[in-house]
Chain A
């Protein structure tokens, strides 16, 4: 059972480039979410989804897009990378309302 899988583990982008961070879970979880982790700021919610075809914004959505075409996958797109998006990104999923989040191992993104 792989759990939550994120790819890539590391990525370096130049300002203005675009890319997609991949997230997949094999636990049939309805809820999926993306967080960014910055020093001294904890985890901040970017976008989340409560099921296939449904997405919503979190606390810091600007500069990021998401889609949820299947239950398993929840990619995060950076349309035009900025240095302020240098961070560690975590994908997490949960089976339901009374359940905790299961996290992937993260993607460390550097924008120069």
Chain B
């Protein structure tokens, strides 16, 4: 399968911005996604970006895509304690298969 990589942990102070990074190997990705997983729950879709876009903004969330470097990032502005969770990057290939990263555990320090 394709490789999707993320760092495992990130800590930020409440009110700061968080940036979660993801790299992938499949140059034919069609869509790239960010999911949030709270403890004991399933994955909840946060946002997604089509592969021909560079940026997408949705309230406090900004997604940046560098297709040349195969790099995706999720920026959360004004991070709150309720943002503490595991964030998964995922890509969908032209065969409609999804590949997930290992997840980044975000801890927000009050």
Number of A-B contacts (CB under 8 A): 49
Give Cα A43 to B99, complex, Å: 8
Partner of A106, one of B42, B44, B97, B103: B42
Q: What residues of chain A lie closer than 8 Å to B4, measured between beta carbons?
A: 42
B42, chain A: closest CB distance, angstroms: 4
Q: Please give me the residue from chain A that is nearest to B96 by CB atom.
A: A97
Sorting the interface of chain B by its residue count into under 10, 10 to 19, 20 to 34 or 35 or more gives 20 to 34
C-alpha gap A90/B103 in the complex (Å)? 15
Contact indicator B45/A100 (Cβ below 8 Å): yes
**Chain A residues with a Cβ closer than 8 Å to the other chain, count:** 23
A41 cross-chain contacts in B, Cβ below 8 A:
102
Query: Do the beta carbons of A43 and B100 come within 8 Å of each other?
Result: yes
Chain A residues near B97 (CB-CB < 8 A)? 45, 48
Residue ranges of A at the interface with B (Cβ–Cβ < 8 Å): 4, 31, 33, 35, 40-43, 45, 48, 50, 59, 90, 92, 97-98, 100-106
The 15 sampled A-B contact pairs (Cβ below 8 Å) are A42-B88, A42-B100, A42-B102, A43-B88, A59-B1, A90-B42, A90-B43, A92-B43, A97-B96, A100-B31, A100-B45, A101-B43, A101-B98, A102-B45, A106-B42
